[in-house]
Structures are given as structure tokens and as C-alpha cells.
Amino acid sequence: MSDMSAPLPGTDYEHSTSLGLSNNKMAMWTFIGSECLFFGALISTYLIYVGRTNEGPTPAGIYDVPFTSVSTFILLMSSLGMVLALAAIQAGEMRKFRTWILATGLMGATFLAGQFYEFTVFAAEEFNLTTSPFSSSFFVLTGFHGLHVALGILMLLAMWTASMMGRLPQQLHTTVENIGLYWHFVDIVWIIIFTVVYLIPAATTAPG
């Protein structure tokens, strides 16, 4: 991120690191390793509590799987957008890059809007943070995931703005790559959440 300044010997510069991998990228992978445990703990909690519904809604009773499938699809497509954005900046096509980065952010925002809508519907059906261990673990898990998406959108928007102001030259494509890593990770976590939180419990607890 500090490419415009004179290089700090041994930092930030790919060719001078011991392993030849940029520091930023390695930091992102390291951080993602930590995040795996973060979401792992949240998902485990959910799995322990999925059956504890306190006479409140059950997974099969509350989830709208078709709706969530659509928003999941949109989030997945945003990963495609990220890939195309990265390819564009690597190829030096800055306009295309901006288009895709914005599209990625928009898809993320659509997903978030869907989540927000889902939460309001749930609240109207008396399914909220305090209903049951099941509800608590659901909202805290998906809420933290949503927060990660929101942070990702902020970063995408920041990149878009920087690019508009001419501060994201092509050489900075590694920054895009790193943020892309984060974005893909958040998507992959959602695939796990969608499967483990929505699909399997909804199928296994379905009435009849």
C-alpha cells in the first residue's frame, strides 16, 4: 500500500521478502486462517443449538430457502465480479476494473439488503435475538457474517473511489488481489453457512 513512497528495505516489496510472497498477501492469508476459527466457533455454536427452539420457530418453520438461495447466488456471482475486476486491473483496463469493482460491491449490497429484509420478516414472526438458543446463535452467526460483507463493501468502495481519483494505479493490483482474497473468503464462509445453517436443518427438521 505504500508503493508511491520510497521502498522500505525488506518490506512491501515482493522481490525482497524472504519467501518471495508479498507481506500484505501473507498477512491476509494469516488473518484468514484466524477467521476460520472465528466462524468455526460460531457455526459450532449454531449446530449445538439448532434443536433448542424453546417452543419458538424451528429451522424448517422459519427459513425461506428459495429466497436465501437467490441471495446466495448473488453473493456467489459477486466473487465472479471480483475475479473479473482483478483480471481487468492486471490487464491495465482501468475502466473495466472500476465497472466490475462497483458491480461486485453492488452484488454484496444486494445480499446485505436481502439479509436485512430476512431479519425484518423474522422479527415480524416473533423470531429474534432472544427467542431461543437457536435464534440467538442464528442471528449472531449471520450477523457477524453480514458485518464482514459490509466491511468488504467498504473496501471495494474505497478502491473504486481511489481509482476514480487516480490513486490506484495498475501497479497496485496486488492490493486488489488481497481484498479479493478477503472477499472470496467471506463468500466461501457463506456457502458453508448456507449449507449448514439453512439447507441441512431445514431439510432434516421439515415437518412430515
Partner 1 sequence: MAVTAQEPVTRRSAFRRPTAETGIWSWITTVDHKRIGILYWLTAFFFFLVGGIEALLIRVQLSRPENTLLSADAYNQLFTMHGLTMIFFALMPLGAAFFNYLLPLQIGARDVAFPRLNAFSYWVFLSAGIFIYSGVLLGGLPDGGWFNYAPLNLIGPDPTATEAAGQIAVAEANHISRMVFYSIGLQIAGIASLASSVNFIVTILNMRAPGMTLMRLPIFTWATFVTSFLMLFAMPVIGVALWQLMFDVRFGTNFFNPAAGGDPVLWQHMFWLFGHPEVYILILPAFGIVSEVLPVFARKPLFGYSAMVFSLIAIAFLGWGVWAHHMFAAGLGPVANAAFGLSTMFIAVPTGVKIFNWLGTLWGGRIRLTTPLLFGVGLVAMFTIGGLSGVTHSIVPSNYQQTDTYYVVAHFHYVMFGGSIFGLFAGTYYWFPKVTGRLLDDRLGKLHFWLMLIGFNVTFGPMHLLGMDGMPRRIYTYADGMGWNFWNLIETIGAFIIAASIAVFIANLAITRRRGEPAGDDPWDARTVEWMTTSPPPHYNFEEVPQISARDELWHRKYVGGATRPPVRVPAGASPDHDPGESAVDDQAQPAHGPGHTGHADIHMPSPSYYPVIAAAGMPIAGWGVYAGGPVQVALLALGGLLILSGLFGWVLEPSAEEHA
Name the site residues for partner 1 (rule: CB under 8 A): 1-2, 4-12, 17-19, 21, 23, 26-27, 30-31, 33-35, 37-38, 41-42, 45, 48-49, 52, 54, 129-130, 132-133, 135-137, 139-140, 144, 154, 158, 167
Closer CB to partner 1, residue 71 or residue 101? 101
Compute the distance between CA of residue 160 and CA of residue 116 in angstroms, rounded to an integer. Answer: 24
Compute the distance between CA of residue 204 and CA of residue 199 in angstroms, rounded to an integer. Answer: 9
CB of 130 to partner 1, least distance (A): 4
Closer CB to partner 1, residue 71 or residue 173? 173
CB of 70 to partner 1, least distance (A): 28
> Which secondary-structure segment (H or E) carries 193?
helix 173-193
Closer CB to partner 1, residue 5 or residue 95? 5
Instruction: Name residues whose C-beta falls within 8 Å of residue 1's C-beta, 6 or more positions apart in sequence.
Output: 12, 24, 172, 175
Backbone angles phi, psi at 44, to 5 degrees: -60, -45
Closer CB to partner 1, residue 38 or residue 73? 38
Instruction: Name residues whose C-beta falls within 8 Å of residue 173's C-beta, 6 or more positions apart in sequence.
Output: 86, 89, 90
CB of 146 to partner 1, least distance (A): 14
